[in-house]
Structures are given as structure tokens and as C-alpha cells.
Amino acid sequence: MLKRLKSWDGLGLRLFLLMWAALALSHLAAWSLVLQAMHGPSAARPGPPPLHAEGGFGPGAPSHDGFDSAGPPPMRTSAAGPSGGGGPGAAMPRHMPTFPSLPPSLPLTSSLIDYGVRLVVIALAAWWGSRWLAGPVRRLVSAARELTPALAQGRPAPTLSEDDGTREVREAASVFNRMAAELSGQFEERGLMIAAISHDLRTPLTRMRLRLETGEVEAKVRERCIEDLREMNRLVESVIEVFRPAEVAEPQRVDLSALAQSAVDDLAETGANVSFAGPPAVVRADPVALRRVVDNLVGNALRYAGNARVRVELSAGVTRLVVEDDGPGIPEAELERVRQPFRRVEGSRNRDTGGTGLGLYIAQQLVRRQGAALVLSNRSEGGLRAEVVF
Amino acid sequence: MHCLVVDDDAEIRTSLTTYLQGFGWQVSAAADGQVMRQLLAQARPDVIVLDLMLPGEDGLALLRWLGTQADAPPVLMLTARGDTMSRVVGLELGADDYLAKPFEPRELVARLQALVRRSNKGASVQDDTRLLRFGRWRFDRLTRQLISPDEVGVALSSAEFRLLAAFVQRPGRVLSRDQLIELTRAPGVEVNDRSIDLAVSRLRAKLGDTAREPSVIRTVRGEGYLFDAEVAPC
């Protein structure tokens, strides 16, 4: 029974009923108020006030044919008939409006009350009706917006309630939910597959690496093969990193400067051209993820520019980790693109740089998970500036 | 030196055996836990290379079993991933060191030698306690960070970590630079007087110690450094 009723609950029916009710209510309210204003509550009843045949309140006023079905109860007599130019009019008071004549004018105050009351009632009805339309659309928009990051970060896809709202809304919700579930299923499957392939590549990579040590291989060939193996391994690591379900770590209070200093010191120990400067600064973050972000950004700078300067800046309640280099920077048009997976600056996909095209993407994902933002820009002096803004 | 390799991949077993034999080591190899137990019953190796992913009983289960054995040799775990989580998991479960596949063969040898050297020298290779307390600070040896008196994580670089790890095991003793170089040696990096001094000054800065009046890491003129704090597990 409830289900049958629900199947009738369409937007069309709702709007129709709302308009009808609004019109009836506005007539009734306007009539009784004008009546009071003109004659006072105790005055003798002079008959219903005139109706404005043309409401002029937008498309919601269905009064084109003069037969105003939503008129106040006293009007609901045959007197208001569409043909009412003759007989019935004689029986009524003289100022009774008759189609197609315009209503006789009311005193100004009554007119204003009349219009005002209708305006308020119909505005309220329009506001209510728009909620039926706008609410579900807003929910749909926010769910759709949430869908992409949820898929990218391996969180469950957002769902919409399939029990609330009109038939159309419920249908849209159910279609959206199905789509989101299918997408996230496929996404997960693809991710698992890629991660599994990458994972299984480690065994043959290990085998090859050992074979290069034990087999009879010319030194030069061996060196090149080892370089290739390293590159393959970097790719494997990054892919696993991207597709592995996010480890949820409790954020803790971390000294950002100590962390950046440690990362820089570790790289300097291997002979890299890196430096650090900055005051102590405490942020809330997962230290493991944060360390990976610093490593990725500095590694990126070292790869493309050969040097990196790391700074921590504190200003007006905002903590910034800045990584700068003196390299070629990134063409303005590609600044957004390089944050996407497997995207690199055009022409840089060569063996010398050896990047996987995932470094910045991973850094961005991790930064977002910390509730911070990654900002990339070119320095006016040349070189790239990557900022993590907390 | 005797090394036991446990890996389910036949070719990795054979080439690793060949490679390690090239260093004059005696190598035995096992494909799974059962063979490993048989080999262990025959002779005690100096060190075990254990793969994490094994069919049947996996590396972690074998690691736990080894932990229950008296006089178990030190274990180097081969894991699939090189990140901190693997290190935390591996070390927490009692591996003495770990290396991610695919590894540099030279690095494996260096790590194994270091493990054996440490286990020959003194009792346990890895002290079980993860968290140590000194003064108002805590030292987390797995995540390699200090936790300040007001609960802020202060990350340590590898050099600082090695230095502090050496200090907390020998509190109240003067350690010369040469001793510290020996204690903080790590594969792939050059440790010298200068790097020790740098790591000391960085550690002091992180501990809020000033060089003029250091209260935790004291300079003993002409002799070296002294870690002047009581260290306790927590």
C-alpha cells in the first residue's frame, strides 16, 4: 500500500498539489485580510472582495481562463462561470468582477495587502517547491564530487538515500549508487591486479639481479642491466604505492623541521646537493607519509635540477614546507598536468631522468590525506617551487 | 661463516648460494619451513636469510618459531616492500634486520656480515624494547624518532638514529670518536670524525641541548662524548 503510494510520489504531482494549495491559500488569506482591512472584523459582510483575474505572480497562477478554480470558497458558485457577462452578474453586487473585465479598483491599502499576501504565500510555496528540486540535486552534486577522490584514495564510494524524496530522486539515487558501486568495484579490481603484477615482478627482478652477479656478464653490460633493473624496481615501488589501499595512520604532532632536516641529512649523506633551513614548527600529520612527501619532492628536484633547497616557513598561522630547485621548472601550461599519474613534462621521458611519473602524484595524494595542500609554481629566478601548505 | 637461505624460488636459492659462496661462506638452502627446521637440527648457521612470502608456513610464522628457540641465529628478513611499515612489522616480530626485494647483493652481504659481527660480540643483536626513556624524552627505535616532553614527534636522520642507538646502550660511558665510528657504521655510507661531530650537534639541537652547556650529550675534552642520562625501557 505504502509502496503504491510512493510510486505516485512524483515531482509533477507534488508541484501540482503545491501550486494548487498555494493558490487556494493565497486567495483565502488575501480575501480575509482585505475584508478585515476594509470593513473591520464586525462590519457587515459586503460579499467577497474582488479577485484579480490576473495574479501576475509568475507561471504558478493558473488563472488564464478567468475560471479561477482556486478562488476563495464564497466565489465557488456558478456566478463565476466563464460565460458570466450577463445574468448572474445582475444578482451579485455591482462591483463583482466579471470576465473579461478588469476588477474594479480597490482602495490602495487593500490592494497592497492583497498583493502582499499573495506574494508571501506564493513565495513560500516556491521556496518549498524549490527544495524538492534543489536539495536532491545538491546532494547528487556533492556525492558526484566526492566520488573521484574517494575512488582515487580507495575509500568507499559515497551513496545516496534511495528511500527519500520523489520518485525521480529515488530513481536517480539508485542509478547513482549502482554506478558508484560498479566504478569502485572496477577500480579496486584494476588496482589489485596492477599491484599484484607489480608485486610478482619482484621475484624475477631479484633473480635477474642475482644472475647478473653470478653469471658471466661483461662488466659494461652488467652495469647497464643493473641500471635498468633499478628503474624497473622504482616503477614497481611507485605503482604499488599508488594502488595499495591507504594505510590509515593516526595523525600525531610532528616537528616538521626536524623531519625535513632528517630527510635532507639522509640525502646529504649520500652526497646529494641539498640544504635545509627553518624554525621549529609543529604540525599534525602522519610522520611516515610526511617523510615520503619530503623524499618525493626533494627527489624530484634532485632528478630534474640536481639540487634542492628545503625550507620551513611560519607566517600568520600557516606552516609551509618549501622545496626549491634551480632546474628548468615546469611550463605553466603543464603545472596542473604533472600532478596526474604517469604524467611528466613533455620530452622528459628519457632514461637520464628515470622518473616514474608518479612522484608528484603520490606526494599530492599523501599531502591531501594530511589535510594539507600541494602548490606548484615556477620561481621567477627559474626553477620549480613546491609548497606543502598546512 | 655459515648462512642459511630460506626462499621458495629455486633460482634465487641457487644463485644466492653461488653468490655467497663466492665470499668463501658455507651456504645451505631451504625451500620451506620444514626443510629449514631439518637443516637447523643438523647445524646452527651463523645467520639466516628468510623470505617473508613462503608457501605454507610463511616467514613471519617461522620467525615466531625461531624466537621460541634457544640460541637462535640472527635473522635477516627479505620483504616485498621497502617502506617503514615493513620495517616496523618485520623488526617488531623479531627480525634483526630486513631488506626489500630486489636487493643489491653487495648490500645483503654487508648486512649479513654486520649481523654476525654484532651477534658474535655480545648477547642480543636486537634489543627487544622498542621505546626507551631518558630524561623527559622517549626514543622510539622502530619509527626512528624522539618523542619530546610535550608529545611532539621529532624525526631522526639515519646518522642521528645510529648515534643515539649507540649512546642509549652505553649510558654514562665515555665513547671516543673511533668507537662511535665503529658503532655507527652502516653499509653504503662513510662515517668519519666530521660526520660524528655533525650528528652530535644535530642531536643536541633536536634534544634542545646547547653546545655550550649540553646536559644530555656531554663533550669530554680529548676523549670523546658521554651520554649523561639514565636510560630505561618504557
**Which has the higher per-residue pLDDT, B110 or A1?**
B110
Q: Is A323 on the interface with B (CB under 8 A)?
A: no
Map residue B53 onto helix, strand or coil: coil
Q: What is the pLDDT of residue A345?
A: 62
Tell me the CA distances in angstroms from B204 to A260, B209, B218, one per residue in order: 17, 5, 10
The ipTM (two decimal places) reads: 0.73
Distance from CA of A199 to the nearest CA of B (A): 7
Which chain A residues are closer than 8 Å to B157 by Cβ?
261-263, 265-266, 269
* Statement: residue A51 has pLDDT above 70: no
Distance from CA of A210 to the nearest CA of B (A): 6
Q: Hey, is the C-beta of B67 within 8 angstroms of any chain A C-beta? A: no
Q: How far is CA A196 from CA A51, A183, A184, in A?
A: 76, 20, 18
Residues B32-57: pLDDT tens digits?
999 999 999 999 999 999 988 888 88
Residue B121 three-state SS: helix
Could you read off the pLDDT of A298-327 as tens digits, one per residue? 988 998 888 999 999 998 889 999 999 998
C-alpha cell at A203: 621475484
| Interface touch A266/B84, C-beta < 8 Å | no
- Mark residue A244 as left, alpha or beta (left: phi above 0; alpha: psi -120 to 50; beta: remaining): beta
CB contact under 8 A, B155 and A259: yes
* Over residues A262-268, mean pLDDT: 92
Comparing C-alpha atoms, which of A95, A88, A110, A80 is closest to residue A47? A95
Contact B189 A291 (CB under 8 A): no
pTM: 0.64
Does the structure show a pLDDT above 70 at A74? no
Helix (H) or strand (E) holding B192: none
The answer to whether residue A71 scores a pLDDT higher than 70 is no
User: Under DSSP, is residue B20 helix (H, G, I), strand (E, B) or coil?
Assistant: helix
CA distances from B5 to B10, B22, B179 (A): 11, 15, 32
pLDDT for the residue numbered A104: 60
User: Which member of B18, B103, B104 has the closest CB to residue A214?
Assistant: B18
Query: Cα–Cα–Cα angle for B9, B12, B18, nearest 5°?
Result: 140
What digits encode the pLDDT tens for the residues B176-221? Answer: 999 899 888 877 778 888 889 999 999 998 988 776 777 888 888 8
Q: How far does Cα A235 stand from its chain's mean position?
A: 32
Nearest to A210 among B15, B85, B143 (CB): B15
Between residues B142 and A258, the one the model is more confident about: A258
Contacts of B80 in chain A (CB under 8 A): 199, 202
Per DSSP, what are the bridge partners of residue B218? Answer: B226
According to the model, what pLDDT value does residue A251 have?
Answer: 82
Rounded CA separation A166/A116 (Å): 31
pLDDT averaged over every residue in chain A: 78
pLDDT, residue A199, reads 75
Q: Is B49 or A47 the better-scoring residue by pLDDT?
A: B49
User: Which A residues 152-211 touch B at CB under 8 Å?
Assistant: 199, 202-203, 205-211
Chains A and B: how many Cβ contacts under 8 Å? 99
**What was the pLDDT predicted at A256?**
94
Q: Which of B105, B148, B158 sits opposite A209 (nearest CB)?
A: B105
Which grid cell sits at B166? 649507540
Query: Which residues of B fall within a CB distance of 8 Å from A288?
Result: 83-85, 143
